[in-house]
Structure 1
Amino acid sequence: MPAIQLTPAQRKEKRADAHHLDPVVMIGADGLSSAVVKETDAALNAHGLIKVRVMSDDRTNRESIFAELADKLSAAPIQHIGKLLVLWRPMPEKVKAEREDAKPGPKVVKIVKFSKSGNHRPQIKKVQVLGNQRVAQGGEIKRAKRRITSVKKKAAD
């Protein structure tokens, strides 16, 4: 599969996004094995933009690994600087299974109340909130009310 082609502006934006990332996949002395490709594919599915560290000192070997990974995984090669490779692939849409009887169910919520003086420990209370309830600002549980929309928004709909 061919690699994704990006414009220089898009590539620059991805490089900026990848600046603070740590390497997710490390390629050691064995080089590019099927396990490494599989792990890189899983990381791309999970994160979209990843850094790969290649431990090899041979620059041509790193360039071939970079091109091969981008080709095998149909990802865009973003940057090759030193022993770091940056790859990007759009994350797949997560399919959410919808239930026929989808109603908000009860959930357990942790309410934390801090002391007024700040010298004491906060009080932690776990409360079960039903589907038609909400937690108010003071930690009280209230019945959920319909949100009030403006007259202009109602007219637009």
Structure 2
Amino acid sequence: MLTGKQKRYLRSQAHHLDPIFQVGKGGTNDQLIRHIVEAIEKRELMKVSILNNCLEDKHEIAEELAEKSGSELVQVIGSTIILYKESKDHKQIELP
């Protein structure tokens, strides 16, 4: 579980990142989650954007992605989700 200070730090690190994946009309699926797991292991911190045609609630999608990928939900802002998971092999971010 991340503390408030750690979440603030991660939000500042994620500010310049571009979203890597998009959740559209189909919502989430196993393939999307598998790709997120692979990408987050290399990057540790990533953004996922939710398209306007997505019918599901963005907060539910964010919680589902975080839970199924084993990552921490840092923030949902607008239609963007920020996820963090400490990497085993590619550690880059040092949390305060």
**TM-score, L = length of structure 1:** 0.54
1:80 & 1:62 partners in 2: Cα distance?
A: 8
- Change in Cα spacing, 1:13 to 1:40, as seen in structure 2 (3 Å) is same
**Aligned partner of 1:23 among 19, 24, 34:** 19
Matched residue, 2:75: 79
Offset of residue 27 of structure 1: 1.0
Report % sequence identity: 28
Aligned pairs for 1:52-71 (under 5 A) are 52-56=48-52, 61-71=57-67
Amino acid of the structure 1 residue aligned with 2:47: K
- Change in Cα spacing, 1:7 to 1:60, as seen in structure 2 (3 Å) is farther
Amino acid of the structure 2 residue aligned with 1:42: E
1:26 & 1:59 partners in 2: Cα distance?
A: 13
Say which structure is richer in strand: 1
Asked whether 1:8 is paired with 2:4, we answer yes
Amino acid of the structure 2 residue aligned with 1:45: E
**Secondary structure of 1:23 counterpart:** coil
The answer to which structure, 1 or 2, has the higher relative contact order (CA under 8 A, 6+ apart) is 2
**Aligned partner of 2:45 among 42, 49, 74:** 49
Amino acid of the structure 2 residue aligned with 1:9: K
* Per-residue Cα deviation, 1:49-104 (whole angstroms, up to 9, x for no partner): 0000011467961111100111111211001001100000001226xxxxxxxxxx
RMSD of aligned residue pairs (Cα, Å): 1.7
Contact 2:26 2:54 (C-alpha < 8 Å) held by counterparts: no
Q: Which runs of 5+ in 2 are unaligned?
A: 91-96
Q: Which has the larger radius of gyration?
A: 1
Say which structure is richer in helix: 2
**TM-score, L = length of structure 2:** 0.86
Contact 2:21 2:47 (C-alpha < 8 Å) held by counterparts: yes
1:30 & 1:62 partners in 2: Cα distance?
A: 13
For this pair of structures, how many residues does the alignment match? 90
